[in-house]
């Protein structure tokens, strides 16, 4: 998935395959290596981390498609750290979290990156609980394109047995 928002902010997320060889264990067989490259305010960084399980990656695809179709209501996004606020979509590993917002400039996809995905210069308080916000201002069509690209990433994964349980779903 490759998203370029206004002002040069960009996010590239890829599924780098499974973390463990097939047959390692029921849960271990579900962890995916996610690689990312983020550009924000003239600075960029990359990360690689097993931060999503297959089901969570599918959930992200469904959520992105729903957001692009207008079935996710945009939230009011806090400008700074807010202990009461939580992203709309988060996962077991709190490395990536997603929220849809809106403003006078249109839609914003906020991706909170923390822990292993946080920028290397981030202070400890910027690494958790919801990490460093990356705001991607985009159109509905760009959001749909991102959803399609992420769904394709999942379809490209090799199947694992039992095939019925692990076959990537079409969102």
Predicted TM-score of the model (pTM): 0.88
**Going by C-beta distance under 8 Å and a sequence separation of 6 or more, which residues neighbour residue 127?**
114, 115, 118
Q: What is the mean pLDDT of residues 22-48?
A: 90
What is the residue extent of each domain of the chain? 2-158
Helices (H), 24-109: 54-68
- CATH T-level topology, domain 2-158: Secreted effector protein pipB2 fold (3.30.2450)
pLDDT at 81: 67
pLDDT at 170: 52
E-strand stretches of the chain: 2-4, 10-18, 31-40, 43-53, 96-103, 106-113, 132-138
Angle among Cα 17, 116, 114 to the nearest 5 degrees reads 115
User: How confident is residue 128, by pLDDT bands cut at 50, 70 and 90?
Assistant: low
Q: What is the mean pLDDT of residues 95-108?
A: 89
Distance, in Å, from the CA atom of 79 to the CA atom of 6, rounded to the nearest integer, reads 18
Q: What is the mean pLDDT of residues 93-120?
A: 91
ω into residue 120 within 30 of 0, thus cis?
A: no
Q: What is the mean pLDDT of residues 68-85?
A: 84
């Amino acid at each position: 998935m490759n998203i370029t928002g206004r002002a040069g902010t960009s996010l590239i997320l890829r599924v780098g395959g499974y973390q463990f060889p097939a047959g390692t264990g029921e849960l271990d067989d579900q962890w995916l290596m996610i690689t990312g490259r983020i550009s924000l305010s003239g600075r960029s960084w990359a990360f690689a981390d097993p931060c999503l399980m297959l089901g969570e990656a599918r959930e992200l695809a469904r959520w992105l498609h729903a957001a692009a179709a207008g079935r996710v209501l945009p939230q009011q996004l806090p400008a700074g750290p807010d202990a009461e606020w939580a992203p709309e979509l988060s996962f077991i590993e709190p490395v990536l979290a997603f929220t849809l917002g809106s403003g006078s400039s249109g839609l914003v996809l906020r991706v909170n990156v923390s822990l292993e995905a946080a920028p290397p210069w981030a202070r400890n308080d910027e690494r958790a609980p919801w990490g460093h916000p990356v705001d991607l201002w985009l159109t509905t069509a760009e959001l749909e394109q991102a959803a399609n690209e992420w769904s394709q990433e999942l379809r490209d994964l090799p199947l694992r047995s039992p095939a019925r349980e692990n076959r990537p779903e079409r969102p």
